[in-house]
Structure 1
Amino acid sequence: MDKLDCIVIGAGPAGLSATLTLGRARRKVHIVDNGTNRNRVTQESHGFLTRDGIKPQQLKDIAMEQLKPYPSVSISKETVTEVYKDDQKDLFTVHTSNNKSYLAEKILLATGIQEEFSISQIKQYYGKSLFSCPYCDGWEHRDQPLAVIAENEAHITHLTKLVFNWSKDLIVFSNGHQLSNKLRNEFESKNIKVYTARIKNLHGENGNLESIELESGENIFRSGGFVVPSFYSPNKFAEQLNCQFDENGEIITDGDGRTTTNGVYIAGETEKAGPSSLIIAAAHGNKAAASINLDLTLERF
């Protein structure tokens, strides 16, 4: 088995950016990806300088194409099933669902996170008329009749105040959760109506929201809106590699992508343990790759 300098797990903006940086540093790097990045449902990505409005898959295709000139970079489409470290040899072995194995000195975890919704129907509209990030999708839905769907008062407060910047035609749906009188009064002063009844159904076609039906029997017209998902890591690689976590469940790093396990690095939403913009994730990938290259340089010089 050939030994690689680094294996990058995940070909989102963080993993791709890191791979490009490592390829340009003449490092032998292999990137493994299974195509489950969470922005695959997104119609357009926004806020990435020079690429505003691009489809996420197109951005990924361009990045993959730009890796081709670097002969030390290789790519495979497969799912990583296990990662473990041989402490005696100080090397990592990565196994995949295709019964392949890779050996490397360094590992970069860039597998990101995934969303979960308390209302399962949201998935039918997510990425087309319901979104989680106003900075990413607020402009396209400015001045439209929008919903904020969230259950935690702090989340409702934060998201509603943000979305109000793009549309004053705003209704809050707390799905059975009561809000404090103080917050309700604050919203009412801005003509923001609040429905606390549980949501029975979402209506629309082809991912385009048309109305929100409540268990109370009311059916309120809305053309789109913003939601607060919960997020989780799709794998346990960091735990398998004995990376330490803080009290908030985030992987501890030195700020430059290095974890507490020597040779293991993280970038993008894996590092943040929450949603991130493409441009920030790409920057984190670049920074982690610089750390990997520096460590390899110092160890071998």
Structure 2
Amino acid sequence: MRLDCAIIGGGPAGLNAALVLGRSRRDVIVFDNNKPRNAVTRESHGFITRDGIEPRELRRLAHLDIASYPSVTIKPDKVIEVRHSEAGFQVTTSNGVTYEARTVILAAGLKESLPRIPGIQNFYGKSLFSCPYCDGWELRDQPLMVISEGSNLFQLTKIVYNWSRDVLACTNGADSLNAQQIGMLGQRGIQVAHQKIKALEGENGRLKRVVFVNGSEIKRVGGFVTPSWDQAASFGESLGCAMTQAGGFITDDYGRTSVRGVYAAGDSSIIVPAQLVVAAGEGSKAAIGANTDMTNQDFGW
């Protein structure tokens, strides 16, 4: 089967790309193995008309929208290989089926790794989150913590201060704050903990306290943590797409990567902030880029 576009990933970016291409009368398959990065998320915020929606419900509604366009198919299958071919690209799935596609949109997103802190998985997505714009409102005016082993700890802590004046910045033993930054945070009454975290304690996903290796404890009810990210799939790298130092794809304003016919959307380009509405918009732009390029090719231009 020869497709106009194979979309790898069925999150907001991939689904919105499919919607735009379906409305452009393109033959499209969305490959979705249903393993989203936000699987632990109970509510998604910041998406107008859908604020507070459960991710599974957003997905269901998106599938209903796409079902109106007969040229788009959503397949619950895992792509295991993408390679160049005379038609453009060959996409092979775990079921052993191979598809020919003129273009490919990479929208599989990222996989994240949390800092190695005992108990952190029990709270992630319930009282500890990665994006204050997504979950800061629900934690407003409460004693919060910010955990980051990287250089973004200072900036993230300043952002979280918008929602709460009781903030604890945790380096988890890393050298992630300089003396000037520590002084600036201190002027605002923001505590800084340099000790490694021994454990996070609480019940039913609700954080109650953070325990440090020196035996000290500080009560906290939630906060934000910076994970590290890697591409969820290596197809872009195997196709030769140029990458940023942060591990995302280098793209133009319409999702075009450095490889002709390959586009990237959503978290695959490490879009910050990582919000649903932003990812969906990136998917729309990548779809417009792909449709424009195929149209120009068809006209011999």
TM range (shorter): over 0.9
Deviation (angstroms), 1:185: 2.3
Which ranges in structure 1 are unaligned for 5 or more consecutive residues?
none
Residue-by-residue CA offset, 1:150-192 (whole Å, 9 max, x unaligned): 123x312101110011001111221113543322222222221
> Partners in 2 of 1:247 and 1:231 — Cα distance?
12
The alignment's TM-score, normalised by the length of structure 1, stands at 0.94
Corresponding residue for 1:79? 78
Contact 1:269/1:275 (8 A) holds in 2: no
User: What pairs up with 1:196-275 in 2 under 5 angstroms?
Assistant: 196-272=194-270
Deviation (angstroms), 1:249: 4.0
Cα distance, 1:275–1:240 mapped onto 2, change above 3 Å? farther
Deviation (angstroms), 1:255: 2.1
- Secondary structure (helix, strand or coil) at the match of 2:294 reads helix
Q: Tell me the number of residue pairs that the alignment of Structure 1 and Structure 2 aligns.
A: 297
Mean CA deviation greater in 51-60 or 111-120:
111-120
Cα distance, 1:199–1:248 mapped onto 2, change above 3 Å? closer
User: What pairs up with 1:86-101 in 2 under 5 angstroms?
Assistant: 86=85, 89-101=86-98
Deviation (angstroms), 1:264: 0.9
The alignment's TM-score, normalised by the length of structure 2, stands at 0.94
- Secondary structure (helix, strand or coil) at the match of 1:239 reads helix
Corresponding residue for 1:33? 32
Deviation (angstroms), 1:65: 1.0
Paired residue type of 2:52: G
- Secondary structure (helix, strand or coil) at the match of 1:8 reads strand
- Secondary structure (helix, strand or coil) at the match of 1:245 reads coil
User: What pairs up with 1:1-301 in 2 under 5 angstroms?
Assistant: 2-86=1-85, 89-120=86-117, 121-152=119-150, 154-178=151-175, 179-272=177-270, 276-301=274-299
> Partners in 1 of 2:194 and 2:244 — Cα distance?
34
Paired residue type of 1:62: L
- Secondary structure (helix, strand or coil) at the match of 1:203 reads strand
Residue-by-residue CA offset, 1:185-229 (whole Å, 9 max, x unaligned): 222222211111111111112211111111111121111001111
Cα distance, 1:189–1:275 mapped onto 2, change above 3 Å? closer
> Partners in 2 of 1:259 and 1:170 — Cα distance?
40
RMSD: 1.5
- Secondary structure (helix, strand or coil) at the match of 2:152 reads helix
Identity of aligned residues (%): 46
Runs of 4+ in 1 over 6 A off after TM superposition: none
Deviation (angstroms), 1:248: 4.9
> Partners in 1 of 2:167 and 2:246 — Cα distance?
32
- Secondary structure (helix, strand or coil) at the match of 1:201 reads strand
Deviation (angstroms), 1:273: 5.8
Deviation (angstroms), 1:97: 1.5
Contact 2:146/2:170 (8 A) holds in 1: yes
Deviation (angstroms), 1:126: 1.1
Paired residue type of 2:51: D
